[in-house]
Amino acid sequence: MAEIVNYPLLALVGQEEMKTALILAAINPRLRGVLLLGPRGTGKTTAARGLVDLLPPVQQSSCPHGCDPRLAAISMEYICPDCAEKLEKGEDITYLAPMQLVELPLNATMDDVIGGPNPRVALEQSRWQLQQGILHYAHHNVLYVDEVNLLDEEIVNCILDAASRGYYVVRRGRLIGTFPSEFLLIGSMNPEEGSLRPQLMDRLGLRVVVAPVQDAQQRLDVYERNRRFADDSVSFAASYADETMTLADEIASAKDLLPKVTIPPRIAESAIRLINSLHIQSHRAEIVLLEAARARAAADGREEVAEEDVAVVAPPALRQRRSDYMERFVKDSRKEDERIANGVKRILGIEKR
């Protein structure tokens, strides 16, 4: 059987911001993922696949149905009879394995995402049993949503909700189940093919504009590396194995260090001043900016955020967050509140406290 090898993330020519953003999001789950904005053929999907090889292994289900001991803890109804038997005997139904990239197909339905009726069980036993969906398989893995702007709004909302809560809820008739789903979300979109609604855009932490490399030598490097990978993917990946392993170790250490990383008050204040100076309304801006700065400090092996961390992460954390509409809306409603307060004072004689 041919070995499936991912193109190494480190073999991508240029695209430093994309690599940094993906690594920071892998270190700090509070960043709620990355949105890659750019035309086709700029390596967005390749980068997402390459990232997976840099992440520490996790417990994966050993069952083809994806049975998980946590589901068994909710109800034995959620796991297959084989796994139920194994658990009863005290056998493991998971094993430590590399993270996987779970890709959401563009034509996915709500049943595909959260799970739906198991057709085999419905047919053979004429009863309803939940067949797990993509959010279940994405648990502890990376969920890649290509063309996120072309997806059904209900589906995008459902995925973003799961990404921020770490769980999702299935409601079908009398069945209500809450299932764990913690994953690193990577969305990609081609701005030429329709925009993403601002409120959805706001919920993806880092945004990277992935432009094709312009430099003639770099373009040639892109071609050369692609040719070498197409000729012999295994030895091409092997030539990056040392670097990949070193980076993977650094990411693992950064994840361990992250809880200890603090932000000196003067740097936090500068970060907020920066956001205010850009007229960004959403409070997600400061969460993402400061959490990305913490992740960068951790990646660098430091326990304290430096100004440079904020400077480096500011573009992916803050771009495309300012909303002309929200700025006008807040200004207008403040004016309206003043008029109401004046009316209350004039007519009722009560001063606003």
Residues known to be catalytic: 284
Nearer to Zn ion, 62 or 281 (CB): 62
Span 36-65, contacts to Zn ion by CB under 5 A: 63, 65
Provide, rounded to whole angstroms, the least separation between the CB of residue 66 and Zn ion: 7
User: For residues 10 and 80, which CB has a smaller minimum distance to Zn ion in the complex?
Assistant: 80
Three-class SS state of 203: coil
Tokens representing 81 are 């009879």
- Cβ distance to Zn ion smaller for residue 90 or 349: 90
What one-character DSSP code corresponds to residue 196? P
Residue 180: strand, helix, or coil: strand
Beta bridge partners of 167: 180
- CA 77/CA 352 separation, integer angstroms: 58
Whether residue 68 contacts residue 24, with contact meaning beta carbons closer than 8 Å, is answered with no
DSSP 315-338: HHHHTT---HHHHHHHHHHHHHHH
Residue 69 to residue 65: CA distance in whole angstroms: 12
Q: How far apart are CB 133 and Zn ion at their closest, in Å?
A: 15
Q: Minimum distance from CB of 83 to Zn ion (Å)?
A: 3
**Contact positions with Zn ion (CB under 5 A) in 62-91:** 63, 65, 67, 80, 83
Report the chain's terminal Cα–Cα distance, integer Å: 75
- The nearest distance, CB 37 to Zn ion, in angstroms, is 39
**C-beta of 83 vs 290, nearer to Zn ion:** 83
Q: How far is CA 106 from CA 137, 148, 149, 156, in A?
A: 17, 8, 10, 11
Q: How far is the CB of 64 from Zn ion (least distance, A)?
A: 7
Residue (10 or 63) nearer to Zn ion, CB: 63
Which residue number, 67 or 102, has a Cβ lying nearer to Zn ion?
67
How many chain residues touch Zn ion (CB under 5 A)?
Answer: 5
Q: Could you please report the per-residue DSSP string of 52-109?
A: HTTSPPEEEE-STT---HHHHHH-GGGS-HHHHHHHHTT--SEEEE---EEEE-TT--
DSSP for residue 232: -
- What's the min distance (Å) between Cβ of 67 and Zn ion? 3
Binding site for Zn ion (CB under 5 A): 63, 65, 67, 80, 83
